[in-house]
Amino acid sequence: MIDLDENTKECKQTLEKLIGKKIIDIDFKYYDDECWRVYIGTDKGKMVMTFCKKWGCPVVELRKDISENMEDYE
């Protein structure tokens, strides 16, 4: 069984990584009627959030430009 409180906490912690970043671009793509992705470009890199209807929380990837420091999203 999934611990929804823990899952919600993890989602919140991931999204809090956007605080203090300047959002410069947003894109949206769907893959089928079950899943979609939101691409959030910031001044420190890109956050990619993959959502599926059956998931309690999106899967989040933090993508960096080669020239950027990884600590920017820590």
pLDDT at position 35, please?
A: 93
The tens digit of pLDDT for each residue in 22-55 reads: 999 999 998 888 999 999 999 888 989 999 988 8
pLDDT at position 64, please?
A: 75
pLDDT at position 12, please?
A: 85
Q: Is the pLDDT of residue 67 over 50?
A: no
Q: Which residues pair with 63 in a beta bridge?
A: 46
Query: The whole model's pTM is what?
Result: 0.69
Could you tell me if 59 and 49 are in contact, meaning their C-beta atoms sit under 8 angstroms apart?
yes
Separation of alpha carbons 51 and 37, rounded Å:
6
Going by DSSP bridges, is the β-strand pair 23-30/59-63 parallel, antiparallel, or unpaired?
Answer: unpaired
Q: Which of the pair, 59 or 35, is modelled with greater confidence?
A: 35
